């Protein structure tokens, strides 16, 4: 069995997603807000994600996340900026953990896909030296 069969929830995330990221500080203050258009694909045993971010002031960023199936229902990714793993917790929730390279900053993410597969909510917790320094709240809808 391959990636699609071993990680059926991940396969349900394939396609185009649009939404908004809201970054908040430890006290709930808004630190940043931007839009995202994301493409999620499974290509054989490889998961590939492209994130396109846009801010109201015209700034843009594009980040590629190639994920390799590690077996046992887990995928890993290792880019210039970060390294981590993700796996399915149940039939609606994916869990990710990753570290930014070159600094003591760990992130933990939960992604919850709606039952109808049209929306998803995501939450990141950013920990530095074991202390939560930021949270990111992401609401997305399927765009294609």
User: How many CB atoms lie under 10 A from the CB of residue 1?
Assistant: 6
**3-142: CATH topology:** Lipocalin (2.40.128)
pTM of the predicted model, to two decimals? 0.93
pLDDT in 10s for each residue of the chain, 144 residues = 789 999 999 999 999 999 999 999 999 999 999 999 999 999 988 999 999 999 999 999 999 999 999 998 999 999 999 999 999 999 999 999 999 999 999 999 999 999 999 999 999 999 999 999 999 999 999 997
């Amino acid at each position: 069995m391959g990636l699609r069969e071993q990680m059926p929830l991940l396969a349900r995330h394939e396609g185009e997603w649009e939404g908004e990221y809201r970054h908040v500080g430890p006290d709930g203050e808004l630190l940043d807000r931007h839009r995202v258009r994301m493409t999620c694909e499974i290509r054989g045993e490889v998961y590939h994600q492209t994130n396109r971010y846009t801010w109201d002031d015209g700034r843009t960023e594009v980040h590629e996340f190639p994920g390799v199936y590690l077996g046992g229902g887990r995928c890993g990714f290792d880019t210039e900026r970060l390294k981590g793993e993700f796996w399915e917790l149940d039939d609606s929730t994916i869990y990710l953990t990753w570290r930014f390279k070159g600094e003591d900053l760990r992130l933990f993410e939960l992604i919850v896909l709606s039952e109808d597969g049209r929306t998803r909510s995501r939450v990141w917790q950013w920990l530095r030296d074991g202390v939560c320094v930021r949270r990111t709240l992401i609401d997305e809808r399927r765009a294609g």
